[in-house]
Amino acid sequence: MEYFAQQMINGVTLGSVYGLIAIGYTMVYGIIGMINFAHGDIFMVSAFVSLIVFIALLSIGITWIPLALLIVLIVSMAVTSVYGWTVERLAYRPLRASFRLAPLITAIGMSIVLQNYVQIVQGARVKPLPPVITGSYTLMEKDGFTVQISNMQIAIIVTTFILMIAFSALISKTSLGRCQRACEQDRTMAALLGINVDRTISLTFIMGAGLASVAGLMYLLYYGVIDFYIGFVVGIKAFTAAVLGGIGSLPGAMLGGLIIGLVETFWSAYFAIGYKDVAAFSILIIVLIFLPSGLLGKPEVEKI
């Protein structure tokens, strides 16, 4: 029971990171109906930016952790948002009226460019970061096995759920959210009603990149090592989470992320760790057979 509880905590933590990245996927798909396959690499870039800023702050003597984290987060979000805007401007906007496969190909091209760019600039070796947020709490102890939750895990879980609630409220309650929902239903009609469609889509990409920057910082702090390839691996898992939960649904993205994280963690704990990805993708296949729109997704209605 204690071992199960510990793996549950680990799975929810991992799933929170997947869910946060998956929200970025689902926001973009909800408006333009296309998958931003460069989103995972935006997450990777944000992790490297966070690491560089941390090292720079330490070199100039800023060692107070709360202040350092705040500066790192602000700089990472600013830089990553520029990358998100650039991807939309170069890979999507010029091809928005083209056939649907064209933006997908360019997004994959942007992903490859970002991977190789970081590999050349930062090198192919993993980059470590010493533990920044330390400390943990013992929840239970029995027969020599201790169930603990660390401050870092608490920070990840709480931050993720706060951001999900905040972005859900933003989309449902604010004028920007109304513009996003209008563009999701019909971009042409939204433009005729005075909505700046290009600006709305660009802001959506920027918001998604901002979420990816938070996920990149949390990933760096939690695991302590990053490399240029994490964007592809984690991005595919987050995309799977978005599809599993129902792409286009923010709560669905979070639910899908939690499920993928829990499946991976429990499979690694009780079965052969080499097959954890097979287990995660098998869950996706099983769910989509019976629920083609995902767990919380809505079936698409064809506009005539």
Report domain extents, the chain: 2-290
Does 215 have pLDDT greater than 70?
Answer: yes
Query: What local confidence, expressed as pLDDT, does residue 299 receive?
Result: 65
Query: What local confidence, expressed as pLDDT, does residue 300 receive?
Result: 61
Query: What local confidence, expressed as pLDDT, does residue 162 receive?
Result: 92
Cβ contacts of residue 57 below 8 Å, gap of 6+? 63, 68, 71, 72
Side-chain-facing half-sphere of 40: CA atoms under 13 Å:
25
Higher pLDDT, 3 or 12: 12
Query: What local confidence, expressed as pLDDT, does residue 303 receive?
Result: 53
Percentage of the chain surpassing pLDDT 70?
98
User: For residue 116, what are the CA distances in angstroms to 85, 104, 124, 212, 232?
Assistant: 19, 19, 9, 19, 12
**Do 184 and 30 contact (CB within 8 A), yes or no?**
yes
Q: pLDDT per residue over 263-288, tens digit each?
A: 999 999 888 888 888 888 888 888 88
Name the β-bridge partners of 132: none
DSSP 109: H
Does 170 have pLDDT greater than 60?
Answer: yes
Percentage of the chain surpassing pLDDT 90?
49
Distance of CA 213 to the CA centre of its chain: 8
302: confidence class by pLDDT, cuts 50, 70, 90? low
230: confidence class by pLDDT, cuts 50, 70, 90? very high
Does 258 have pLDDT greater than 90?
Answer: yes
CATH for the stretch 2-290: 1.10.3470
Does 97 have pLDDT greater than 80?
Answer: no
Higher pLDDT, 100 or 287: 287
Q: CB count, 10 Å around CB of 167?
A: 20
Distance of CA 144 to the CA centre of its chain: 36
Query: What local confidence, expressed as pLDDT, does residue 19 receive?
Result: 92
Q: How many angstroms separate the CA atoms of 225 and 202, rounded?
A: 31
The owner of tokens 């906007």 is 93
Q: pLDDT per residue over 104-160, tens digit each?
A: 888 889 999 999 999 999 988 999 998 888 899 988 888 778 889 999 999 999 999
Residue of 248, 205, 283 lying closest to 11 (CA atoms): 283
Q: pLDDT per residue over 40-59, tens digit each?
A: 999 999 999 999 999 999 89
The owner of tokens 């239903």 is 185
